[in-house]
Each structure stands twice: as C-alpha cells, then as structure tokens.
Chain A
Amino acid sequence: MKKVLIPFIMVMVLAIIPYAGITFGKLDYLFGVIIPYASVAILLLGFLYKLVDWLRRPVPFRIPTTCGQEKSLDWIKDNPLESPSNPFMAAVRVLSEVLLFRSLFRNTKAELHGGSKLAYGSHKWLWLGGLAFHWSLLIIVIRHARFFFDTLPAPIELIEAFDRFLDVTVPALYITDGIALAAVTFLVVRRIQDEKVRLISLATDYFPLFLIGTIAILGVSMRYVTKVDVMPIKALALGLASFSLDAPSPIGALFYVHLFLVCVLLCYIPFSKLMHMGGIFLSPTRNLPNDSRAKRHVNPWNPDIKFRTYAEYEDDYREKMKKAGIPVEKQ
C-alpha cells in the first residue's frame, strides 16, 4: 500500500503549499504569475527536449506489428489499416490509436475454466474508461480556453455548449466533469483491485491519477459548490495570456490550489510516463508502413560486418564438394 499512500500524501502536501502560501504569505503573485509561467516554460521546453531526444535517435529497421493481411497479390484483399502499405494509411493507423485507442479495443480477459480450458472474454472496460478519461480531460482543457479569451472562438463555444446541454444544475453541469471524475475513480480502483495491475503499478502510476483527480475535484467544487467569482480569475487568465505581468486581484486559496496542482502536472509531464502523449505518435510498430520488401528502408548506422564468404567456404569443403558432384569455382 506504500506505493498508493506515498503519492496520495505527496499530492496532499502539494495542495497545502499554495493554500498556506496564499492564506498566510499573501504570495498571490508567486502562485498566480511566476509559477504558471515557469511551469508552462518547463512543459514546453521539456516536451520539446524529449521529442527532439527521441527523434534524433534513428529507426534502424522497419518493424510494424502487422495486425492484418499485407498487400501482396492483386486478388488477395489486404487490410490497409492494420497492415498499411503506404505512409498515409500508417498515419491513419496512428490516428486511430491516438483518437480511438484502437489496439486497446482488442482487449480480452483470459480465464482458466474447469478441465484446463483457457477462455478469452471480450473486455472493453479499460478501453472505455481510458477513452472517457482522455477525451473528457481534453474537452475540459479546451473549455478552459474561455478564461483566456474576451470573446470565445466559435469552435470552443460549440464544444462548451455541447458539454453543458444537460441543463440540470446552476451553473449548468458539464457532462465531462462527471465523466472525468468517474473515469479517474475507475482507473484508480482498477489499479488497486485487479491483482495483476496492482502488482505492476508503481507510485508513479498513482501520482498523476491522484493529481488529476484532485485538480478535477477542486475545479468541480469551485464551480458547483463554493461558486467562486470567475471575474478575477478571468482577469488573471487574460493578464497571463497578454503577458501583462500585473498582480492578480484577490481570488481565494482554493483556486490557487487548483492552479498550482495544474502547474505541478504540467512540470511533471515531460519527465514521466505522461510523455506517452508524444511517444504514441512515434511508435515504430504503428507508424511505419508494412512495405519493407517493396521499398528499401535504410539504417543510418548499418554496421560493416565481415561474413564468411563463399570463397572461404569452398576452400574448406572443396574436396568434399567435388566428390559429391557439387560444382566449385576453383578446381
């Protein structure tokens, strides 16, 4: 349980820091301006560094995992998505992973039944939970753009309107708030409850879940429970967006905890498994076309290897070959 408790305590301690800083230290400028700028800088630079660091390493071999029929004879139907024969379809394959979690959709659950029978049941819960988690987070992030614009761009307004079409609370309930909280709960519970996943999980798996969960809870409680005054928040956001560097007007400690934890999350991304959001685009088992017999793939560091040549072979076996009537180069 240590690997669950430690990250939980870490998130709580991280939450106390801005609370104390705002309540007792009046550090609004630090938590409202300096740390947000710093963390965005760390995110951008860190993300960029990591991407460049990956990209400068070569892909020596063309190693797509082929999950469908390759393009071969004309009359054999190929599977262009699971065994793409060109870069365009490989890109579609990657996008289907990024947007729809296609591989995870295949997930099954294996069980042993009586008489030593292995059974594989369809098991889409992880796919559903993961998809709900990622998509609702994305929409929530996009929705937050409304703080950074005087007049909201139309696409964002559309997304926002969709998100609150269930007009059941005041202010209107965002569906994604509920989905995100449910999904994050599912992902935590699953990690603890499934004995296999419990065994593979590290503190670094729980930490971002707790962090994101806490951020969401704080956001939700500000909107629906404490009904925080959004005007000074919007003023702060607009100020940040226009690099005005003005001191924020008083907002309340809860908001700063929310903001600070977001900043922690941004800083954490480049140095953790959360970089999977960039890595998934580069995965060589998915983003390469399965065309390595039709088109030569070049390895930039292809080593010079001395192999045993035919001449050396014949020198060793010439007499035996001649006796057996196998043609030789030298008599």
Chain B
Amino acid sequence: MSKYALKPDELNKEFEQKKPRILKGEFAGKDWWDLPVEFRDGNWCFPAKPEVLEEIGFPNPRKWAATDADWQLPKDWEKTIREGMKSRLKRFRSFKLFMDTCVRCGACADKCHFFLGTGDPKNMPVLRAELVRSVYRNDFTALAKLLKSFSGSRTLTVEVIKEWHMYFNQCTECRRCSVFCPMGIDTAEITMMVRELLNLIGVNNNWIMAPVANCNRTGNHLGIEPHTFEQNVMSLVDDIEELTGVTVNPTFNRKGAEILFITPSGDLFGDPGVYTMMGYLLLFHHIGLDYTISTYASEGGNFGMFTSNEMMKKLNAKMYHEAKRLGVKWILGGECGHMWRVVHQYMETMNGPADFLKEPVSPITGTKFTNAKSTRMVHIAEFTADLIKHGKLRLDPKRNDHLRTTFHDSCNVARGMGMFEEPRYVLNKVCNVFHEMPENTIREQTFCCGSGSGLNAEEFMDIRMRGGFPRANAVKYVKEKHKVDSLVTICAIDRASLPTLMKYWNPGVSVYGLHELVGNALVMEGEKKRTEDLRENPMAGFGEGDDDE
C-alpha cells in the first residue's frame, strides 16, 4: 500500500462514523470561504520540474512544493490571472455563461466522485465553481463589487490561488455533474480554464507536464523514442507468436497504408495495457487490415488537454500531419478516454479540415462510418462492432469463460462522445458472462476512476483512492452479487489506474481492455491449440486433457 494513502480499514472507519452523511465535519454557522486549505501527504501532486517547463517554454520554472509557504509566484501574478481570465471570458461563451447562470440549486453537490469520497464541501461541483465565481464577481461585475459581502465576492489572493490549485486538481473533468445540472453547467470546462490560468503563473503538476514535454519531443507521453517504440511492439509480436503460433506483422511509418492506427502509448508499456495492444494486433492480422503505426504520432492521449487549449492543439496536430505525410485514407483510434473527447469534440475544429483524408469506409465490410465523415477518425469499438455484426470475425467467446466481466464506461467516451452500445455489443460477443453495475453508476452516470485528467500520480494516492471509491463501490456490488472478477474498460488511464483502485477496495478484481478480450476470443488462422489467454492465465475448459473442439 502506498504511504500516501490511508489503509482501507481507516477509510472505512471514517465512512462508518459519518454515515449516512457524505459531508465530513461540522459546518454549522460557517461560511465556505473561511474553511482552511491544507496540503498534506496524499492530496497534492508534485509540481513540474524546472527543466520540463523550460523544454516546452512554460512560465515560471522553479523548484517548489504545494506545502511551501511561499510558492514563488511571478511578481505580477495577479495581473496575469486577471488578464488571463478576461481573455478566456471573451473567447469562451461557455466560461462566461457558467460564471453567470448558476443558481446554486445544489443538484450537482453529491454527484462528484471526489465529494463522495472525501466529504470535503469544496468538492461539491457548485462550490468548486464558486471558488472562481467569487473572484469573477469581484473583478468583472460592477454591482457585485459594490455589494461585496451580499454577492459573495472576494479578492484574489495567494490563498485563493492555493485553493484553486487544490480543488481544480481534485476534479478529473469527468462531466458527471453536468449531466445533472439544470443549466448544463460543465465543471470540466471551468477546470480547464482554471488549470490554464494556473499554468500561466507556474502552478502545475509534473504528472501532466512531463508527459506533455515527452509527447512534444518523442511523439508519446512515455517519451519512447522511435527505435524503442518499434522494439516494444515487436516484443508483443513475439509474445503473440509464443502464445498462438501466429506471426502478426505490424508496420511502422509505412507510406501508402490504407489506415493509420493511433492508440495511447500506455498500450505499449506495462501491464495490463500491452494485452489490449496484443488484442489489436491479433484483430488486424485476423482481418488482413492494411494499416500502419506511426512512431511520430505515437500517442492517442493528449495531456495538453489538461494544460491549455494551445498545448492540446499542438500535440494533437501530429495526428493529421502524419496521416497526410503517410497518405493514408483515414485514421483508426484505439481505446482511450480523454483521447476521444479530444478527437470527437476538438480535433477537427483545432487542426482540420481533414480534406486530405477520405471518408472512412471499413475495407472489410464496406460500411461507411458516416458519423465520422468529416473528422475521418473511427473508434476501434465502432470498427470492431461493425466487423462482428457482419460476421467477419471468427470468435470463440468460451475462451473468456474464465472471466466474469462488468463494463466501466470511461467518462469522456460516455459524456463527451456518447458511445455506450458499441463496446457492450463487442463485449457480449466475445465473452459469456457479463453483468452491469447499478444503473446510477454506468453509462451517462458513470463514475470516474478517480485518477483521470493527469492525476494518476503516486503521491496523490489518498485523493485517488477516495475519488475512485464510488466506482469501486459499484464494482464491489457486482462482485458480491454476481462474482464478477473482471473489470473491462476502453480507456488507457483506466487500465493504468483501476488496478491500483481494485487492489485497494476490491482485491481479486482484475482490469482488462475490451480488445484484450477480443484477442482472447479470436480464432486465428493457423493458430496452435490455445490453453492460455493473452496474460498467460489458463482459460477455463481449454487445459491439457480438456476436449475443446
């Protein structure tokens, strides 16, 4: 267990003491702006290293920590924040509206996973937004300034900056609150703005900024250079051969391929992401897809999104740039959460038009992906669902009979894209045991893993385990009721963060990518007798002596 988190027993005790309340502590007669902000082990991420900031040209590189009394903010930081706010209010109608129209009805209050796990009132989305609104009212609306205490406005101080840093890094931009808001206020949008503002004065998070710098330099968050990238994939090719007897042949930076495949670099590195990658490779081989993988545009995810609008655009630009250079017809994207928020809602606006690509058509089934006819990038779950629907895959779902599955909707794919059915369709075709978690915890009401939007840092463990509590709680429900032991996701951050969360709250539950299960179930031409899944775990009923045909 991490030294940055309480033990599950201690946390359970805390919940037991305050039940049925979610709020922690007594607040009678108190105003939220009087509550102190306290940085302690487990509730803040290490700031970006100076050399990282220098590499990408971000302001105020220095050595500091959130627990320092003096954050060494630049001399004119107030002016920077004020002008930054003004410019964003001007450029984003959303930001301005969300500052103006909240009626503080409180519907969002107990919808946030961080509030449910911490009981901290400032984690109620409405209060999170009020942290900014109080400054906005003071600085940008004349009447509110006049009636300061009446309107709940306050002056911008270093304490406010510290509070912003604390609470806008206890928001994973998951948009769950915005589902319930009668005004459609989206805290993710506010968090994006505030994180941009904080970055202007050098208040940041190394777990976000280091991947940003890596991605800019090497093309992927993990900083894998081209030759190593190729080696990583080829070692998976070897693993596949050993397991199945089939040799798959991925190509790199190949001009003239029909399709460019881009997935989060997390799929190339570490358990359990690599198994999902093996699933993709098996699938593409199975259908004889003419595709290539780029070492330059080797990242599906986009940590720029958690930094600034401009950085998001800068990192994303590589996808179209590379697709154009290689002359592919369209782009196929792997399983990832925020990657798909960017691709679906931002990419073509930022870096389009994609007129050098063709409208995506499945070369196997002839299906036109009309919903992607302009951005020209298709989600792998859409692609695979279409293949299965047309009977193009030879699948043996029994090969996943050793797994009892449930499906975790990733926040961004759910609420920033609206893809619910395709992954479920695929999952149900490749495995026999599937149980949904309770309805208030799936689909558009899905809970975040607690570590999204660049908060997956080890030193942030306390908040992560608390933030992931609602998700883990729903998994626990199906674990107890249906003996579910496999949590299937379509997000690389989920694959990185949920194993830790499961180990903490639900030992015995493993985390899988959807296409790992596809890879398990695919009956490949020329394969040897399969007895183990991609993780080299024995399949049920396929062992030595079992008669599987």
Select the residue from B15, B27, B184, B375 with max chain A CB neighbours within 10 A.
B184
Select the residue from A63, A103, A204, A286 with max chain B CB neighbours within 10 A.
A63
A-B pairs with lowest CB-CB distance, top 7: A66-B418, A70-B418, A279-B101, A283-B184, A324-B227, A202-B152, A83-B418
Give min CB distance, A255 to chain B, whole Å: 28
A residues apposed to B, CB below 8 Å: 1, 3, 6-7, 50, 53-55, 57-63, 65-73, 75-77, 79, 82-83, 85, 97, 101, 103-104, 106-118, 120, 126, 130, 194-205, 207, 271, 273, 275-276, 279-280, 282-286, 290-299, 301-303, 305-310, 313-314, 316-317, 320-321, 323-327
Give min CB distance, A5 to chain B, whole Å: 12
Give min CB distance, B421 to chain A, whole Å: 5
In contact, B422 and A275 (Cβ under 8 angstroms): no
Give the residues in chain A near B20, CB-CB below 8 Å: 111-113
Q: From residue 47 to 84 of chain B, which have CB atoms closer than 8 A to chain A?
A: none
In contact, A200 and B15 (Cβ under 8 angstroms): no
18 interchain pairs (CB within 8 A)? Answer: A57-B89, A58-B91, A61-B349, A68-B420, A79-B418, A111-B19, A112-B20, A112-B21, A195-B21, A201-B104, A203-B150, A276-B183, A279-B97, A294-B372, A294-B373, A299-B350, A324-B231, A327-B255
Give the residues in chain A near B141, CB-CB below 8 Å: 271
Asked if B16 is at the interface (CB within 8 A of a chain A CB), the reply is: yes
Give min CB distance, B6 to chain A, whole Å: 13
**Residue of chain B at shortest CB distance from A284:** B94
In contact, B253 and A296 (Cβ under 8 angstroms): no
Mostly, the A contact residues are loop
A204 to B343, CA, bound (A): 40
Give min CB distance, B100 to chain A, whole Å: 6
Select the residue from B295, B343, B414 with max chain A CB neighbours within 10 A.
B295
**Residue of chain B at shortest CB distance from A82:** B444
In contact, A73 and B386 (Cβ under 8 angstroms): yes
B residues apposed to A, CB below 8 Å: 11-12, 15-16, 18-23, 27-32, 89-94, 96-97, 100-107, 109-111, 116, 121, 124, 126-127, 130, 141, 143, 149-152, 175, 178-186, 189, 216-219, 225-227, 230-231, 252-255, 295-296, 309-310, 313-315, 317-318, 321-322, 325, 343-346, 348-350, 352-353, 367, 369-375, 377, 382, 385-386, 389, 414-422, 425, 438, 440-441, 444-445, 469-470, 473-474, 477
In contact, A118 and B179 (Cβ under 8 angstroms): no
**Residue of chain B at shortest CB distance from A204:** B151
**Residue of chain A at shortest CB distance from B102:** A273
Give min CB distance, B199 to chain A, whole Å: 15
Give the residues in chain B near A54, CB-CB below 8 Å: 93, 96-97, 100
A75 to B386, CA, bound (A): 9
Give min CB distance, A325 to chain B, whole Å: 8
Known: A76-B421, A204-B150, A296-B352. A103 touches B104 (CB 8 A): no
Give min CB distance, A289 to chain B, whole Å: 11
**Residue of chain B at shortest CB distance from A83:** B418
In contact, A275 and B100 (Cβ under 8 angstroms): yes
Give the residues in chain A near B183, CB-CB below 8 Å: 276, 279-280, 283
Residue from B16, B22, B126, B415 in contact with A110 in the complex, judged by beta carbons closer than 8 Å: B22
Give the residues in chain B near A97, CB-CB below 8 Å: 182, 184
In contact, B422 and A72 (Cβ under 8 angstroms): yes
Mostly, the B contact residues are helix
Give min CB distance, B423 to chain A, whole Å: 11
Give the residues in chain A near B296, CB-CB below 8 Å: 310, 313-314
In contact, A308 and B414 (Cβ under 8 angstroms): no
Give min CB distance, A36 to chain B, whole Å: 21
Give the residues in chain B near A200, CB-CB below 8 Å: 32, 104, 106, 109, 121, 124, 126-127, 130
In contact, B217 and A297 (Cβ under 8 angstroms): no
In contact, A326 and B93 (Cβ under 8 angstroms): no
In contact, A130 and B105 (Cβ under 8 angstroms): yes
Give the residues in chain B near A83, CB-CB below 8 Å: 418
Give min CB distance, A27 to chain B, whole Å: 25
In contact, B349 and A324 (Cβ under 8 angstroms): no
In contact, A72 and B97 (Cβ under 8 angstroms): no
In contact, B374 and A293 (Cβ under 8 angstroms): yes
Residue from A60, A73, A202, A326 in contact with B349 in the complex, judged by beta carbons closer than 8 Å: A60
**Residue of chain A at shortest CB distance from B110:** A110
A60 to B95, CA, bound (A): 11
Give the residues in chain B near A79, CB-CB below 8 Å: 418
Give the residues in chain B near A205, CB-CB below 8 Å: 103-104
In contact, A285 and B178 (Cβ under 8 angstroms): yes
Select the residue from A53, A54, A76, A303 with max chain B CB neighbours within 10 A.
A76
A54 to B484, CA, bound (A): 49
Give the residues in chain B near A101, CB-CB below 8 Å: 182
